[in-house]
């Protein structure tokens, strides 16, 4: 008579984020917040691009280079894949991963937790797990400094001229990019089937120590299955506000959406739904320009 172990799926970020919310974002300091746009978006910065034609369908403050928080983890995942390190190699969460940003983040991924590189990548992408992302960087040849160098080299290779990377998690406000650069990052990540799959898992169960833990996707649109999303990443630190990038199919059109500096937990997702509804009502908008 074995009792089934309870699967914990509590969110441990709430307290840390409540304190973070009180600090102004870079976009707010630049006066980009509260600017009105035709779609009444709550994000300070937005860019909607047709993936096939590279036509800009909608933009708002789209030339601003700003902190991107955990969207950084898309670049982290590209560098991990480029290194061709074995997916099945075990990674152990180290004290360095736990202490990288003391007080800035809470996590159920405890020191000493063991997981494969693949599982660490899944947690980093779908659940935005910072300790897993840091461990991926630490387990790179040459450690974190070499990893960050590789992130910046990859950005240059992708033509991300307004971007700079400082750590694998995105917790540093020195991870900066522009919406146009982020469309290039989304495109590069989209080329990898594993990253498409990992970033769009609604939830994922993993043993941490002796307990099975359930991690959920940070993007409620993925969990709700009410949009055809092929790749996505959310982000949040106070300097960046709430962020979201994703590739989605809307009325047969393949679009990349970038939303930066949204206030509150839900508006960036509501903005994505607004864009979807706008395209459904107006399937052939006049392109503003081509990237």
Active-site residue list: 70, 73, 128
* SS3 at position 197: helix
Contact in structure between 131 and 97 (CB atoms under 8 Å): yes
**CA 136/CA 118 separation, integer angstroms:** 10
For residue 59, give the H/E element and its range. strand 55-60
Q: What are phi and psi of 51, to 5 degrees?
A: -65, -30
Nearest CA to 71 out of 207, 197, 192, 241 is that of 241
Calpha distance 18→25 (Å, rounded) = 14
Determine how many CB atoms are found less than 10 A away from the CB of residue 229: 20
Residues 124/76, Cβ–Cβ less than 8 Å:
yes
């Amino acid at each position: 008579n074995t009792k089934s172990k309870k699967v914990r799926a509590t969110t441990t970020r709430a307290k840390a984020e409540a304190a973070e919310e009180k600090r102004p974002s870079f976009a707010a300091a630049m006066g980009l917040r509260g600017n009105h746009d035709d779609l009444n978006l709550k994000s300070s910065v937005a860019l909607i691009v047709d993936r096939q034609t590279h036509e800009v369908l909608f933009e708002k403050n789209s030339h601003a280079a700003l902190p991107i928080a955990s969207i950084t983890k898309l670049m982290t995942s590209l560098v991990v894949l480029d290194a061709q390190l074995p997916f099945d190699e075990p990674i152990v969460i180290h004290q360095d991963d736990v202490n990288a940003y003391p007080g800035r983040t809470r996590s159920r991924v405890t020191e000493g937790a063991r997981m494969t590189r693949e599982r660490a990548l899944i947690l980093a992408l779908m659940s935005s797990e910072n300790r897993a992302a840091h461990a991926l960087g630490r387990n790179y040849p040459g450690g974190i400094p070499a990893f960050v160098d590789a992130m910046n080299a990859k950005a240059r290779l992708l033509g991300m001229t307004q971007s700079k990377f400082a750590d694998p998690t995105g917790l540093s406000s020195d991870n900066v990019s522009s919406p146009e650069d982020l469309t290039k990052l989304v495109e590069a990540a989209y080329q990898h089937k594993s990253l498409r799959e990992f970033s769009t898992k609604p939830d994922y169960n993993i043993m941490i120590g002796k307990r099975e833990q359930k991690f959920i996707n940070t993007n409620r649109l993925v969990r709700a299955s009410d949009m055809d999303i092929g790749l996505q990443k959310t982000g949040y630190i106070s300097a960046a506000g709430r962020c979201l990038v994703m590739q989605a199919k809307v009325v047969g059109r393949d679009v990349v959406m970038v939303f930066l500096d949204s206030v509150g937990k839900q508006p960036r997702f509501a903005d994505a739904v607004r864009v979807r509804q706008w395209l459904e009502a107006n399937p052939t908008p006049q392109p503003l320009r081509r990237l």
